[in-house]
Amino acid sequence: MRGMKAVSQTFSVVVAFVVAAVVLAAALYAYSQYQVLSAPPTSSTTTSSGPSKVILPYDNSTKTVYIKLVTLSSSSSQFNFNGTSFGSMIIYVPAGWNLNITYENQESLPHNLNLVQNNTAIPQSGDIAEDGKILLTIGATSSTYQLQGLSGGQSASGLYQDIAPGDYWFACGITGHAASGMWVDVVVSPSVTQPYVVVSSS
């Protein structure tokens, strides 16, 4: 009887250890995906008054910033870019620069990526075109962005040149996805000297 109890206790400890290891591995994978996919840092700074600022990869000679956004399957929401939702990621770009954008969908639900010159603070409509002007669509076309997107595991790229100062979004155009949180703020300004990203905790 004691032998059975000891085996049972040992089995319980092993199961608990395996579960903890799996949870830790999943958390580390999600963290590493965000770090690698959101912006390979060239440098970063943190202040006591705010979140970390991570410099995005860029080519100063061609005034091009390289942006990679990924819809992570490991995020708490299927409506995410790099694990963030509802504009908690803000990308800052110098005015007049080129945006070399890669979008990858790791979710089973189809998604696409649109650069929108927005005229509302947050997406309010099922159709992002009602909240601003769509400047670039990746993973769909200008006529199919509300219905079609990249399937899980697919990626696509696009280039937008000489972006003017102003406020923009990266947003999924499929009906209702942006309003469900699938958007990133983009701020373009002549006062920004090198492109960077900030992610707030809220």
Q: Which residues pair with 137 in a beta bridge?
A: 114
Q: Residue 12: its pLDDT value, please?
A: 53
Q: Cα(135)–Cα(166) distance, rounded to whole angstroms?
A: 13
Which phi and psi (to 5°) does residue 110 adopt?
-65, 145
Q: Residue 32: its pLDDT value, please?
A: 40
**What residue ranges define each of the domains in the chain, with the CATH number in brackets?**
44-199 (2.60.40.420)
Q: What is the mean pLDDT of each run of 10 residues along the chain (202 residues)?
A: 51 44 39 37 47 93 98 92 97 98 97 97 96 98 97 97 98 97 98 96 62
**Residue 197 neighbours by CB under 8 Å, 6+ apart:** 38, 39, 53, 54, 56, 89, 90, 91, 92
Q: Residue 23: its pLDDT value, please?
A: 37
Q: Residue 15: its pLDDT value, please?
A: 41
Buried b (16+ CB within 10 A) or exposed e, 33-55: bbeebbbebeeeeeeeeeeebbb
Q: Residue 174: its pLDDT value, please?
A: 98
